[in-house]
Structure formats: structure tokens, C-alpha cells
Amino acid sequence: YVRCQSVHLINVYDEIMKIELGYKETTLMETFKKLYSLAQRARNNMFSGDIDITAKNLQMIASIARDFPPLLTEMFNVTDLVNFCNILLEETFNMTRDEKKELLLGIRLIQVFEILIDLKRVKLVNISDVQSEKIKMQLMMMKSVEDMKNMVTDAVIGNIEKSPVTLKPVMVIRFDQVILPLLEREGRKIDPNENFLSDVFSYLPLNRVSGNYVINMTHRQLNVHYSKNTTFCFSWQLSKSESPTGQWFKTTCALLDSSANYTRCLCPLPGHFTVVSIPASQVEFVTEDPQSHLVLFMSCILSITCLLIVIVIYLRAWSFLWDVKNNIHFNFTLSITGINVVCLLCLAHPKNELMCLSGKIFLQLFTLSAFTFLLLDAIKIFTDIHSRSQARTLVRTLKFVMTGWGTETVYIS
């Protein structure tokens, strides 16, 4: 049987092509069951070419079911599907690394499970928890970080009419580490210092969602040199749409915390993730040029010095400058001074989170107020030219000041 199993697989491929072209000699589900039966009978005896043809046939069946739902006469059995993929992964266990790089199995298995989500949306498959030797599937309910932040905000402000946060169903597939070399195909140059710690975790939401989610990944116990390594969360992505190659990226996810056998990351969904450790000596950190900070620091000090001189002159000559126009100019000067003070404080404490958050708020306030006072100055010039009756100076001054500072304060708050 082993000598002619390739012929059987090619015959199955021909059947799938006929179904796709509209020839109903057999049903799509019958072809799937036949292919699954072939894989079971050929277990432990598959050649690398047989594995690739089988994976290709499986991917084609899933794609046709997604594109032409009426061709599927019955629902997919998710347990059979997971066990089928498990057989294919097991067959690669004893292959050399070079042989694994030639296979498209890893990419095709991931694409099959992505298609499974589309089949779930049209009710052609029921997702359930399934465990096999190399692949584990679990249905989880998750909420995005944005939803959690909204919950905290509502709790702080006491929002009674807050909308309930709905949990999103997510299918989590855990692939054994044997799939890792199957995903490295002519992609980035592999760093020999990279140590892949965990299995590959695929988080696939059943509904179309956006936002970042907390990804939990368990991995093997780290050795005593753990403190000398830097942990990263890698995300696997196709090089291009419908491409047979993909790459691991370490810039997609943010590491939240990591222990000897547990790592949490913040990642966008859907995605495929793993944990990698790299020696700290090999990690390139981006550092800022201290010379540029010094230039900005001195510029802010010079600006503040000049603006303070202007403010002192305004205050000393206040009795001679008591009118609307000079009040606008005085408040505009205060706004510009505030901007420079905020920049100076943030430059002095670049790693203080509270300072950065406060700086962001006050920078918006002072910038908006500066532009508002410029607008008020233009309005004042216009009213001076076209207004027939002049209101009292004090009342008009208060109106301008309240508009210049009040509107921005309410908006920023």
C-alpha cells in the first residue's frame, strides 16, 4: 500500500478538482472522509511528498466548503479535522530540518484553521474543545484591552448607564513545537541565539473583532540563565496575501510580564504567537541622542526666560494696558509659557509615566488656549472696526478670558 499511496492521493486531488469545476461524481464530505481514511492507513509510512499532497488536498476541501457552502452536504466533524492535522504533524517528527523547510505543511495547517472560522460563521462546523498529541483546540471567551479600559473609566466616573462589555468567543489552537521549522521558509535570517520557548498559539476570534487582547502562553521551564535573556513575543504573519511563505516578527506584540514558565503579551487578533528568548547582549536597544535633548532643554529655558520678561513687563504696566486687546496678548503669552514649561519638565523626567501623562494633558490645554487667544485677537480687531457700540471694557475682557481658558479646560477635562 505504501508504494501506491501517492497514486491514491493524486486521485483524491482529481476528485476535488472535479467537484470545484461542478462535476458531482462524489460529494465534498465523502472526499474528505476518503482522504482522512488514507492518512490513517498510511500513518508512520508517509513520504514528504505525500504529506504535502495530503495537506494541499485538505486545504482545497476547506477552501471549496468556504467558497461554495451548498457543496457541503453535512457539517465538518471538528474532532476528525484536528486528528487529521495531528497525523500530518506527527509524520514530520523524524524528518531532517532541510526536509521540513521544503514542506508547506505548517502554512497550510494554519490556513485550514483560519478557514474553519469562516465555516463556523456560516454554521458548517461546531467548534468544541479537542485534544490530540500535537494539536489542542479550545474555545475561550475574551475581552479586549480597550473594553477593560472603558470598564475602569466607567467605574471611576460612576457611569450608571454604562453599556455591558460582551465577551468575544475566540478559538485557541496550540500547535506543538514540531510546527516551528515548518513555518520558517525563505523568510528572515534565523538568529542562532534565538531560543523558541513555547508552542505556537493561534488566537482566532469567531466574530470579526478589532483591538488588542492579552495572550497567555505557557512554556517549558527556563534554565538558570533566564535572568541574562530578554523575552519577546513573536507573531507569525504571511509575507504577502496567499503567499506560501511567512515570517516571525517581534514588533507586533508588547510583552506584559514573563516568568520561568509563563508569559503574557498584548497582541492584535487574529494571530499566531510564540515566546522567544534572546541573550540580552544580543538585543539592540534604540537609544536617544542626549545631544538633541540638551539642545531642546536650552531652547526651552531661553524661551521661558524671554516670555517671563514679557509677563513681568505686562504686570508692571498693567494699569496703563487695561483693555481687551492687551488682556488677550497677556493670556496668549501665558499659554506659550505653559507650553515651554511642560516641555521642560517632560525633558527633565522622560521616564516618569505620571509626568508624561500630565504633560500630554497640559500640553493640549496650553496649545489650544494659545490658538484660541489668537482667534479672539482676530475677532477683537474685527469688532473694533465694525461694531457701532462699545461694551464696557471689564465685561468684554472677562468674556474673552473665559472663552480663552474655559472652553479648553472643559474639553481637556
Query: Average pLDDT for residues 115-130, to the nearest whole number?
Result: 88
Handedness of CA 271, 277, 282, 287 (dihedral sign): positive
* C-alpha closest to that of 277 among 349, 353, 335, 226: 226
Query: Quick one: pLDDT band at residue 63, thresholds 50, 70, 90?
Result: very high
Task: Please give the sequence-ordered ranges of beta strands (E in DSSP) within 153-285, or none if there are none.
Answer: 168-175, 195-196, 200-205, 212-218, 229-238, 246-249, 254-258, 262-268, 271-279
Check pLDDT > 80 for residue 340. yes
Give this prediction's pTM.
0.64
Ramachandran area for residue 114 (φ above 0: left; ψ -120 to 50: alpha; else beta): alpha
CA distance 138 to 204: 11
Task: Match 505543511 to its residue by C-alpha cell.
Answer: 105
Q: Give pLDDT, residue 398.
A: 63
pLDDT: which is higher, 46 or 148: 46
Query: Average pLDDT for residues 100-129, to the nearest whole number?
Result: 88
Q: Give pLDDT, residue 83.
A: 94
- Tell me which of 10-19, 197-206, 246-255 is least confident: 246-255
Query: Average pLDDT for residues 382-398, to the nearest whole number?
Result: 60
3 state SS of 311: helix
pLDDT: which is higher, 293 or 111: 111
Q: Give pLDDT, residue 138.
A: 92
Query: Average pLDDT for residues 401-412, to the nearest whole number?
Result: 65
Q: Give pLDDT, residue 387.
A: 61
Q: Give pLDDT, residue 171.
A: 92
CA distance 200 to 214: 16
Count of CB atoms situated within 10 Å of the CB of 58: 26
Q: Give pLDDT, residue 404.
A: 62
Q: pLDDT for 274-293, tens place per residue?
A: 998 877 655 554 445 555 67
Q: What is the 3-state secondary structure (H, E, C) of 68-135?
A: CHHHCCCCECHHHHHHHHHHHHHHCCCCCHHHHHHCCHHHHHHHHHHHHHHHHHCCCECCCCEECCCE
Task: Match 498529541 to its residue by C-alpha cell.
Answer: 133
Q: pLDDT for 347-357, tens place per residue?
A: 887 777 777 77
CA distance 6 to 49: 8
Kindly list the distances between the CA atom of residue 100 and the CA atoms of 59, 94, 235, in Å, as whole numbers in the listed order.
18, 10, 20
Residue 7's contacts (CB-CB under 8 Å, 6 or more residues apart) are none
Q: Give pLDDT, residue 156.
A: 47
- Arithmetic mean of pLDDT over the chain: 79
CA distance 237 to 273: 9
Task: Match 535570517 to its residue by C-alpha cell.
Answer: 189
> Residue type at 356?
C
Residues 72, 124 contacting (CB under 8 angstroms): yes
Residue-range domains of the chain with CATH: 128-282 (2.60.220), 290-412 (1.20.1070.10)
